[in-house]
Amino acid sequence: MHAPKEKQLIYVLSDSVGETAELLAKAALSQFDEGCAITRRVPYVDDLQTVDEVVKQAKETDGMILFTIVLPEVKQYLMEQAADQAIPVYDILSPLVTMLEDKLEAKPRNESGLMHMLDEEYFRKVEAIEFAVKYDDGRDPRGILKADVVLTGVSRTSKTPLSQYLAHKRLKVANVPLVPEVDPPKELFEIPKEKVIGLKITPEKLNSIRTERLKALGLKAEANYATFQRIQEELDYSADLMEKLGCDVIDVSERAVEETANLIYQLVQSKQM
């Protein structure tokens, strides 16, 4: 009987996290018998000493090396050491980068970690969107203390769409509806006033929005929700509360959601400087 062949070791090197290189290695390995090789990821390779250590291990285990290193001096040193030790080595990125360089007539940055930075941006956006859904419409006041910005105002002042729009800018947004019969959450008074944005609107505009909302729901436009008396009561209450909070207030009457969101974003950015 033939002795079972030892699994091939593939060292996957990167000057960032190395997820891309390992995924490509595993995609290639999927074309072969399962378990014929295993990958060993070595992230954040940005010094020559680490290269020496991996080359030594690859030599001792009869392994091979795949890499996505863009730092020129580290990449060159790795290629030279691997060639000197007769270790199979494959540069995953360079062929494509060279092709793009020729086609785009532009020089690559040769900076490590750029892809990971993009990944982090994406995950921050997803996290912010999930946050906005979880803490929408005052569902859980604990979100107020965790938020980057808290929107507050009466019903139909675009709190939810604004929260979602700002989430795509990676801001964690909670929103709190203001109703005269319901005390606002105490958390609203516990956070810095700079984090709170009040939304106000004219009675006429709010009446128009609420009337259309009632029609869309198949309800009578004369419902108390859309009467000028009720609207004025709510707006007076919200104005008094916003004054107590000492927060910035934005009039959304004649502004599109995108315009208001950009204004809020600029306010938040200016306070973080």
**Per-residue pLDDT reduced to its tens digit, 143-178:** 999 999 999 999 999 999 999 999 999 999 999 999
DSSP letter at 195? G
**pLDDT at 3 (0 to 100):** 43
30 annotated as ligand-binding: no
Q: Are 45 and 54 in contact (CB under 8 A)?
A: yes
Average model confidence (pLDDT) across the chain: 89
156 annotated as ligand-binding: yes
**pLDDT at 124 (0 to 100):** 85
Give residue-wise pLDDT tens across range 201-239.
999 999 999 999 998 888 887 789 999 999 999 999 999
Q: Which are the contacts of 223, defined by CB distance < 8 A and separation ≥ 6?
A: 214
Residue 228 CA: distances (Å) to CA of 217, 234, 236, 243, 246: 19, 10, 12, 22, 26
154 annotated as ligand-binding: yes
pLDDT beneath 70: ranges in the chain = 1-5, 108, 110-119, 273
155 annotated as ligand-binding: yes
Distance, in Å, from the CA atom of 43 to the CA atom of 208, rounded to the nearest integer, reads 58
What pTM was computed for the model?
Answer: 0.60
Architecture of domain 8-112: 3-Layer(aba) Sandwich (3.40)
Distance, in Å, from the CA atom of 210 to the CA atom of 155, rounded to the nearest integer, reads 9
Q: Coil, strand, or helix at residue 166? A: helix
Q: Where in the chain is the domain with CATH 3.40.50.2300?
A: 8-112
The class that CATH gives domain 115-272 is alpha beta
- pLDDT above 90 coverage of the chain, percent: 64
